[in-house]
Amino acid sequence: MSNILRRVLPTLLLCAVTGLGTSGCIYRMAIQQGNYLDAGQVAQLEAGMTRSQVAFLLGTPMIPSGFDNDRWDYFYYLKDRRNHPADERRVTVFFKDDKVDHVTQGPDKGEAPHIGLRNRS
């Protein structure tokens, strides 16, 4: 029994050390989805803006309006590290007579995203 253990134990230890050593070396790509929502651009939204002005400022909404043509939803999602929570942001623009009526912002989760930032001061 001890003869088998002497032959198998080093192999098992080598496999365990190799598995533990390489598990931390796996590259995980950042997953970014949706419209990048810059706080400065969102702050420029005003009541009375036209749809084309909103589209110029924020881009076209990621999700097409399926039920309500007077509502544009903008979502942003960034997952960059495995052990950190994802950064999620939401802005909803409501229109009345093809002009911005009001804007709501969802609960922002996470810190300001670092991918896509133009100026970091």
Three-state DSSP at 85 gives coil
Q: Is residue 3 part of a domain?
A: no
pTM over 0.85: no
- Two structure tokens written together for 1: 């029994």
Torsion of CA 70, 92, 78, 83, to 10 degrees: -130
Number of compact structural domains in the chain = 1
In which element (H, E) is residue 33 found? strand 31-34
Domain housing 96: 28-105
Q: Is residue 53 part of a domain?
A: yes
- Two structure tokens written together for 20: 């533990």
Three-state DSSP at 78 gives strand
pLDDT digit string (tens) for 61-112?
877 777 888 899 998 888 877 777 788 888 999 999 999 999 998 766 555 4
Q: Is residue 118 part of a domain?
A: no
Q: Is residue 17 part of a domain?
A: no
Which residue did the predictor score with more confidence, 37 or 112? 37
CATH of the domain at 34: 3.30.1450
Residues 83, 115: Cα–Cα separation, whole Å = 18
Average pLDDT score over residue span 54-58: 93
Query: What is the pLDDT, as a whole number, of residue 119?
Result: 37
Q: Is residue 9 part of a domain?
A: no
Amino acid at 92: T
